[in-house]
Each structure stands twice: as C-alpha cells, then as structure tokens.
Copies of this chain bind each other. A is one copy, B any other.
Amino acid sequence: MATIKDVAKLAGVAISTASYALNNSAKISAATRKKVEEAARSLNYQKNGFASDLKRTKTKTIVLILSDLSGPYYSELIKGVQEVTAANGYDLIACSSIGGQQSTAVKFLKEKRADGVVVLAHNITDEVILDSARPDFPIVVLDRNLQHDHVIQVEVDNTEGARMATNYLLDRGMKEIAYISGPNNSHDNERRLSGYREALEKRNVPFSSRLKISGDFTRDSGYFSTKMLIAQQNLPDAVFFANDEMAIGGLQAFAEKGISVPDDISVIGFDDIQLSEHVSPPLTTIRQPKYEAGALAVHLIFQVLAGEKVEDHYNLSTELIERSSVKDHSHSR
C-alpha cells in the first residue's frame, strides 16, 4: 500500500507538502497540488486513517452501542442518532455489546475509539461506562439511570407512561389488568412495571403476581406469554404489554383462540411502533418520543464536544395514542 511518502517522492515534493496538498491547505500552489494529486491517483494512494486519527486525536466518529446488531431495536431512535450525527459531518458506527468484557463495545468505550458514545444496550455494565467516562469523552445513556459527571442520561418517562396506560384502563372500568413484562434486567421494563404498580396502588387495586407474566420484548414472547395467560383460564379484563412487539404477538394469540380484542379483552401496548396502527385491531398504546431521544442524545454529545455545559439528565414525556384495542366498560358515561 502506498503511503504519503511514496506520493511525495513521486511528486518530487516533501511529505509535508504532499500532506498539505491532499488536505486542501490554502498554502499550496495549484500546480504543486495537481502534481501531488496526480501522484496520489497513480499510486492509488489512500490515507491511513489510523495514523491520521492518532495524529489529530479526533476521530469525527460517534459510536452507537447496541446490545445485539442482529436484534430488533428502535429504528426511530437510530434514525434520530443517525441524522443528527450526519448533520454535524460526523461518522456513525454501531457495535454490539455481545460478549461482555471482551465485546467490541467495551473496547470502543475503554479505548475511546470515537469522539462520543450513545449507549442503548442493557448488557453493558454501569461499571464499564463509569470507567470510560472522561471530561472529553461524552457518553449518553438511553437505557439506564447513572449518575456521573461525564455521563448524560436521556430517558423517556417510562413510569409516567405506564401509569398513564394503567389509569386509562382503570378509567374504562377494567378491574383485572395483566402485565406482560419485558426482561427483568431491563431498566425500561422495571420503570414500566413500577408505573403499573403505582397506578394500581393509587386506586387500591391489588397487584396480583398471577397477572404478571415475563416476556422479553420480542413478538414471540408476547405470543407465548399470552397463550399462557389464556391457558390459565379466567381471562383478565385487559392486558398491558410492556411493549408493542409483544402486544402484537399477543393479538395474534388472542385471534387464534377466537378471543376478540377489544370485546372480550382489552389490550394496550407501549412504544407506538410503526406497525401498531396497521395491526388488527389498531393498537392503543403509549408513544415514546424515540426519534427525539436519539436526536437529543447526539445533539448533547456535540454540545459537550463544543465545550458547552449541558444538564446531566433529560426526561422525555410520553403520549397516549388512542386506537381500537381498548373498550370502555365504565358506567360513568
């Protein structure tokens, strides 16, 4: 592979001149620049990015850490991250945190292989993040609660959303509301569950662990959890699925058993993914401002990189999207 040295030699100039020419410095004459560019072209020269990064100490890259590259995730959120990153002329790369301490994600974090990081991966430990956080290395976490000088938290108000969903069902006369949860180690799930429980408590509806079934945020798990719920007999009045994917799986399980939603049972989801409005019946759900969360995360990174002060915690609020998967059983109207 040709290096800048070869280019300089072929062009008959000093290395520094070649470097300037190739980096479009103003102080190189047009003639020299052309000579250098031609030499570069004829040698098929490509700069060594690592050498350049090393020298410049900047990478112009933001890393997005996901728990699993192949997994489903919030595409809206990623879009937010992607667009703001691109708008600032930075590169975005994604890496996975599969593999624990040996994962690519941990390496990127610890070795500071980017100028900023957005974390959306519950399987990255808090410790790794705290270890990596430094004044000049902004890290935004979207999936956890973490206090640290150089870690910024952007969070959707899951508790409030879950409370809203539960109250909505309660308001419509539901007595028994099941909760199909996400994975136990998920911070989002934990917050949603507590919103659900708080809402029940406030209305003096007892929480029954029979009505809490563990899923893992996948459609399949929603499907199977719902089958389990059906198998238990005594269907509740409504089911609050910790996310839409699971709710859609649940809808299918109900359909297969000939249980009508919302006539026989009401269903509410969480997230408002694209599909939710197309599903049958259209799913009532809690919308999360996912695009905004992603965009804000990166926006904050650039603020920090520009030396501006930012808050260390942002809370984005949710919104209830009323569609047709919940029936009103209340007598109040």
Contacts and interface: CB of A to CB of B under 8 A. Distances in A.
A111 interface: yes
A219 interface: yes
A329 interface: no
A225 to B, nearest CB: 14
Interface string A21-61: 00000000000000000000000101111110110000101
A78 interface: yes
A95 interface: yes
Interface stretch (A96-104, A162-170, A262-270, A299-307): A96-104
A109 to B, nearest CB: 9
How many copies of this chain?
2
A82 interface: yes
Contact of A49 (B49, B113, B278): B113
B86 A78 contact: no
Interface string A80-106: 001000100001111110110000100
Given A256-B280, A278-B220, A71 B75 contact: yes
Given A86-B98, A252-B278, A75 B72 contact: yes
A133 to B, nearest CB: 11
A82 to B, nearest CB: 6
Contacts of A72: 75
A94 B112 contact: no
Interface string A234-264: 0000000000000001001001100000000
- A-side interface size class: 35 or more
A111 B46 CA distance: 6
Nearest to A56: B50
A54 to B, nearest CB: 4
A69 B94 contact: yes
A172 interface: no
B82 A219 contact: no
**Nearest 8 Cβ contacts at the A-B interface:** A49-B111, A91-B104, A70-B78, A70-B79, A70-B75, A94-B94, A50-B54, A93-B95
16 contacts: A1-B112, A46-B110, A46-B111, A48-B111, A49-B111, A54-B54, A69-B78, A70-B75, A70-B76, A91-B107, A92-B104, A94-B94, A94-B95, A219-B278, A223-B278, A249-B278
